[in-house]
């Protein structure tokens, strides 16, 4: 099962990364900051909560 789950997770993380760059492009001008943010917030729900706060 793991060989099928990993590609899905990779696509999921890439989707969050693109969304995070759009939403937080003003706050995170540095590419490194965006990468760290994506690693810390792997869950889409966490992204929404962080955005509201």
- Pairwise CA distance, residues 46 & 42, whole Å: 7
Instruction: Identify the band that residue 10 occupies on the pLDDT scale cut at 50, 70 and 90.
Output: low
Percent of the chain with pLDDT over 70: 2
pTM of the model: 0.24
Ranges of beta strands (E only) in the chain are: none
pLDDT at 9 over 60: yes
Q: Which residues of 23-45 are buried (b: 16+ CB within 10 A; e: fewer)?
A: ebeeebeeeeebeebbeebeeee
Q: Name the residue ranges covered by the structural domains of the chain.
A: 2-52
């Amino acid at each position: 099962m793991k060989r099928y789950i990993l590609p899905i997770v990779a696509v999921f993380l890439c989707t969050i990364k693109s969304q995070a760059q759009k939403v937080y492009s003003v706050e995170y001008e540095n590419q490194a900051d965006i990468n760290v943010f994506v690693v810390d917030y792997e869950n889409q729900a966490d992204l929404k909560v962080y955005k509201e706060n």
